[in-house]
Chain A
Amino acid sequence: MTGAPLGDLALVVSAALFAIGVAGVLLRRNVIIVFMCVELMLNAVNLSFVAFSRTHGIDGQIVVLFVISVAAAEATVGLALILAIFRHYESVDLDLFRRLRW
């Protein structure tokens, strides 16, 4: 089985997904979509961890497990924050949230 080429291709796919996530964060104003783009970037990095773990041992997959559990914790707290902010502003538009900005 061709080992290295598929792993390298997976790294390219991971780079593309990460770039799409960055573009989404810059492009969207809906805070929930921006949050989803952050999840997409986390998943892109997971893909490269898995691709590297084929040649560097199982530790990469263990890191992916930790990333998934931390992402779950982050999603719960983040969505609770979005709920609280929505109650205050009655909107999810990022450009309106400017209390902590100069």
Chain B
Amino acid sequence: MTEFFFFLFAAMAILSAIFMVTQANPVASVVYLVVTFFALSGLFVILDAHFIAAVQVIVYAGAIMVLFLFVIMLLNLGSGVPTDIRRGLARMLAGSVALALIVVLTRLVLGDPGSEALAPSALASVLEAKGAVRALAEPLFNRYLVAFEVTSVLLLVAVIGAVVLARRRAP
């Protein structure tokens, strides 16, 4: 059963990612990317990352993609735009680079004999004992506290930077 849903979500993610790249209409691309993010959050649930799956849906599929959609509609790029997909040499280059990457990375992953020897799902017992949120929160607010605070400052800087950049200059 778990395998079935894994393959379902994996196929969903890869297919809609391919559609996202090959679709001429930007709005359709955004919708396909949202589908990819939902499928990825399903994969996260299967891989014992329940909190990450929730954050993925809320932050990525919810907030970031709405921001993309908003900008596309603000710039009026919805329909009737000419296709922006490159032709000829660039298309072959993109295809061959992607194929080479898949081959190299897959061989790197599957050719490594050490990955089989690891303890299968050492994480499951921790999640069982503490629950998904607590298992993540305890190290986040102890060992990674400085990084957490720096991230909050980064978000503040990003908000200020976005306001300054997107503001209409006075003539």
Residues of A within 8 A of B (CB): 1-4, 6-13, 15-24, 26-30, 32-33, 35-37, 39-40, 43, 46-47, 50-51, 53-59, 61-62, 64-66, 68-77, 79-84, 86-87, 92-93
Distance in angstroms between the alpha carbons of A83 and B73 in the assembled complex: 12
* Count: A-B pairs, CB below 8 Å: 243
* Set B6, B97, B151, B162: member contacting A66, Cβ < 8 A: B151
Q: Which 8 A-B pairs have the closest CB atoms?
A: A3-B120, A73-B158, A15-B105, A26-B94, A23-B98, A80-B165, A24-B21, A3-B121
Which label, helix, strand, loop or mixed, suits the secondary structure of the A interface?
helix
B: residues with CB less than 8 A from A are: 2-3, 6, 10, 13-14, 17-18, 20-21, 26, 29-30, 33, 36-37, 40, 43-44, 46-49, 51-52, 55-56, 59-60, 63-64, 67-68, 71-72, 74-75, 77, 84-86, 90-91, 93-95, 97-99, 101-102, 105-106, 109-110, 115-116, 118-124, 126, 135-136, 139-140, 144, 147, 151, 154-155, 157-159, 161-163, 165-166, 168
State whether A54 touches B47 (Cβ < 8 A): yes
Contact assessment for B139 and A62 in the assembled complex, using a CB-CB cutoff below 8 Å? yes
How far does the Cβ of A88 sit from chain B's closest Cβ, in whole Å?
A: 10
A82 touching B71 by the CB < 8 A rule?
Answer: yes
Residues of B near A7 (CB, < 8 A) are: 47, 115
How far apart sit A51 and B55, CA to CA, in the bound complex (Å)?
17
B161 lies within 8 A of A77 (CB): yes
> Which residues of chain B come closer than 8 Å to A74, judged between CB atoms?
158
